[in-house]
Amino acid sequence: MNGKSPDPGCATQILIVDDHPIIREGMTHLLNLQADLHVCCAAGSAEEALAAMNCQPGMAIVDISLQTDSGLDLVRTLRHRYPNLAILVLSMHDESLFAERALRAGANGYLMKLEATEHVVSAIREVLAGNIYLSAAMHEKLARALTVPRRKPEGPIASLSEREFEVLHLIGLGFSTREIADKLNRSVKTIETHQANIKEKLNIRNGKELMRFAIQWIENQ
């Protein structure tokens, strides 16, 4: 084997979870060019991802917004079932809103898809080295949060629970109550309860107003 053809057996095996085939293919090509990294399997949903864990990857790269599933829920499941698995969230969504929540769900790092490809590789290696990967700006934000005396969270969104935050996000993306229930594997009644709590916390009067708020919030991210 020549120096340009890395041996997959000597490289860290990686699972890519993204519902866009072009992203999966592009990431696979990029990572397989690295001598120390190899994509052993790829998945477009949480179900496919959990089945693909049979290939025993050392790392999972997970998108937050999967077409039929919650990426954050998948991160929680992977962390619970595979405590030693390295998990990097790669997402189009603003890290200022989602990075801390992804870390709380069990991820070891958060990277936006807008980042250059060299940052993707360095983020992967940083996480595999046992470190937390965030952008410099996000590191500074979290550092300030740890050193500055804790104040009451600012803004209406800060008052939402993790699940309420996810429900609001999905409403803003255009999902119906039934679709959100299916996506989060919860009952319609449970999602309706979350929606009622969101309306109360955000001082929103009805469902139409909630939808307008959620869509505008997503557009402003």
Mind listing the pLDDT tens digit for each residue in 96-147?
Answer: 777 878 888 899 999 888 776 778 898 999 999 988 888 766 766 655 554 4
Which residues does 178 contact at the CB level (< 8 Å), separation at least 6? 188
> Coil, strand or helix: which one is 213?
helix
CA distance 174 to 215: 8
Q: What is the DSSP letter of 22?
A: H
Q: Which of 9, 19, 41, 44 is nearest to 28 (CA)?
A: 41
pLDDT at 77: 92
Does 156-219 carry CATH code 1.10.10.10?
yes
DSSP category for residue 77: H
What percentage of the chain carries pLDDT values higher than 90?
Answer: 37
State the residue for tokens 């619970």.
80
pTM over cut 0.85? no
| CATH code matching the domain that covers 8-145, chosen among 3.40.50.2300, 3.40.50.1100, 3.40.50.300, 3.50.50.60 | 3.40.50.2300
Q: Across the 221 residues of the chain, what is the mean pLDDT of every consecutive 10-residue run?
A: 52 92 92 93 92 94 83 90 93 76 88 78 91 75 51 66 85 81 85 91 88 78 59
3-state secondary structure of 171: helix
Residue-wise pLDDT tens digits, 54-66: 999 999 999 987 8
> Domain residue spans in the chain?
8-145, 156-219
What is the side-by-side strand order in the sheet with 59-62? 37-43, 12-17, 59-62, 86-91, 109-112
Nearest CA-CA partner of 139 in 103, 93, 186: 103
Q: Do the beta carbons of residue 107 and residue 75 sit within 8 Å?
A: yes
